[in-house]
Structure 1
């Protein structure tokens, strides 16, 4: 006779639980329905993870098969100055971009919330949202045309018309100048992502009780004082939450950099994602083992960041992100 374990329900009642085999048999229909999904997840999400073994192998394009090398690729990675430059650039670009776009989203949200004309508010919101739905390839094409050093470049043309560039001065190659690339990158990201970021903050602003503003009016507060002492404190928890949730993704930078950078600005623009891409696809004989090792290192650091942000989220919001 099979043994039945005792469990206590939420009401405090003690009941006997059926054996696991019997429960599986009784619910066999549900398990059969779940089986295709389970197999799909295993094949699509987990089977490719077996490829991390190449991080410990010498595996280059060619007839020769992979051979075990241990931690050689990781040693090479930690000794490569180009890798550390890419790692540093990834952190700088991601974190600065995160803070700037969050700040811009908060400012735009507050001003949109203060607008009294509903039609103008909705029209402005639509215009601000539109860049988010453009692909990075389209955005890069637009700004490459605007910033082009050729005679068709709009910004160089304006600088000449305004007299900032003389007749004998050469056009400025904005995207190929190290000192200018990062500010341009930040401005493009603000232009593209600010509208989308305002959605969450406008939702928070819509939930602020009108009684708080009425009380501020009774106390004689100006519009600026109401923004400072009512609106911003109400947004503070949302701002912190957005920052925490996005800090976990700081290493996932690739497409926005890939479409804008070039060899002249690798020292300030090369990130881990583009570094891996070049090691794999931009060399005559790709070194799959080395690029896998770099990708594995990025994933491990990203996992640590997720755990840190999850702990911070539990302290701030009372619940984690995973």
Structure 2
């Protein structure tokens, strides 16, 4: 009975795939790329448990067990990189509601031409490369010839070296990211708001609801499922502070506040050629992120109706 039921489900799934073969064909290139560049290299994870020698190859390098994990946990850099990475990630969570607020504000605009121009202007920073963003920050914040330095000199004061301050690194990292991506990140929330039936707003208007009441009782409940999904994904990347911007903003003066896991892995792995050590650190990072993702999704599924699966 169970076999016939499962075979029937399989046949229905195959029929569904046959009816929509064109859509699955469009999906094929993405699946191939995922298999080639994500799943295929995963066998290399075992070098975290080996003393990898390029001349010997992965399989012939000697096993060392958890040697490199213990080396990382006992090193000075463990506490520094974990502290900086977690602090920047938690700091970024403070800005999580900003795209939601931005989407609600844009949705309230009634002049369509101004609305389109406003959206275009706020989306544009997303397409600026990270290295250009960091270059602009260096020009603006330079204590010598930058805008900040000029303002300080105008009042006869000495400008601080913000780019060389370890305590300011997290703020520079997070708020430059807010400027660059808030507009773009709001698109998914605007898409959710566009699915709201106009009849709901009309009924609320007839009942005498104010604009704030419409936002509170119509817009925000509509955005909660999307926001919860994105929040779960964000928590799943708690230790995943981006490498590129952190490395470009990093210098000898702010190193105590800017050394995160991704930059440390780069220096250990590619610059120092300690491949097994860097693989162990990165595997530790991945396991923590994956565990957080599973845990937060479980909690969300248990106490609400929203989850990834």
TM-score by length of 2: 0.80
Report if the CA contact (8 A) 2:103-2:186 is conserved. yes
CA displacement 1:220-267 (0-9 Å, x = unmatched): 332223223332222222222211122222333222312222232233
Work out the number of aligned pairs and report it: 286
Aligned match of 2:269: 280
Does 1:136 pair with 2:123?
no
- Structure (1 or 2) with the larger CA radius of gyration: 1
2:4 to 3, 8, 19: 8
Does 1:292 pair with 2:279?
yes
Flag the 1:225–1:291 CA change in 2: closer, same or farther, 3 A.
Answer: same
- Matches of 2:81 and 2:40, distance apart in 1: 29
Report if the CA contact (8 A) 1:241-1:313 is conserved. no
Report if the CA contact (8 A) 2:237-2:289 is conserved. yes
Report if the CA contact (8 A) 1:54-1:289 is conserved. yes
Does 1:125 pair with 2:113?
no
- Matches of 2:137 and 2:170, distance apart in 1: 14
Higher helix share: 2
Aligned match of 1:70: 65
1:154 to 135, 142, 147: 147
1:179 aligned counterpart, secondary structure: coil
- Matches of 1:230 and 1:246, distance apart in 2: 25
Deviation of residue 47 (structure 1)? Answer: 4.6
Does 1:219 pair with 2:207?
yes
Flag the 1:281–1:203 CA change in 2: closer, same or farther, 3 A.
Answer: same
Structure 1 unpaired stretches of 5+? 16-36
- Matches of 1:219 and 1:250, distance apart in 2: 44
2:265 aligned counterpart, secondary structure: helix
Across the aligned residues of Structure 1 and Structure 2, the Cα RMSD in angstroms comes to 3.2
- Matches of 1:211 and 1:6, distance apart in 2: 47
Does 1:50 pair with 2:27?
no
Deviation of residue 313 (structure 1)? Answer: 5.6
CA displacement 1:286-312 (0-9 Å, x = unmatched): 322211111111122122123224434
1:228 to 208, 216, 220: 216
Does 1:301 pair with 2:281?
no
Aligned match of 2:253: 264
Report if the CA contact (8 A) 1:55-1:292 is conserved. yes
Does 1:93 pair with 2:88?
yes
Flag the 1:291–1:110 CA change in 2: closer, same or farther, 3 A.
Answer: same
Report if the CA contact (8 A) 2:229-2:307 is conserved. no
- Matches of 2:289 and 2:102, distance apart in 1: 30
Deviation of residue 40 (structure 1)? Answer: 8.6
- Matches of 1:52 and 1:203, distance apart in 2: 39
- Matches of 1:41 and 1:59, distance apart in 2: 26
TM-score by length of 1: 0.77
CA displacement 1:144-201 (0-9 Å, x = unmatched): 11112222x112212333x2xx2xx433211211222212211101011101111111
Aligned match of 1:22: none
Flag the 1:68–1:10 CA change in 2: closer, same or farther, 3 A.
Answer: closer
- Matches of 1:149 and 1:96, distance apart in 2: 25
Flag the 1:247–1:220 CA change in 2: closer, same or farther, 3 A.
Answer: same
Report if the CA contact (8 A) 1:276-1:291 is conserved. yes
- Matches of 1:109 and 1:275, distance apart in 2: 36
Flag the 1:44–1:187 CA change in 2: closer, same or farther, 3 A.
Answer: closer
User: Where do 1:164-243 residues align within 5 Å?
Assistant: 166=156, 169-243=157-231
CA displacement 1:49-88 (0-9 Å, x = unmatched): 3323322233478999954433221111111231222122
Report if the CA contact (8 A) 1:95-1:247 is conserved. no
1:264 aligned counterpart, secondary structure: coil
Deviation of residue 278 (structure 1)? Answer: 1.5
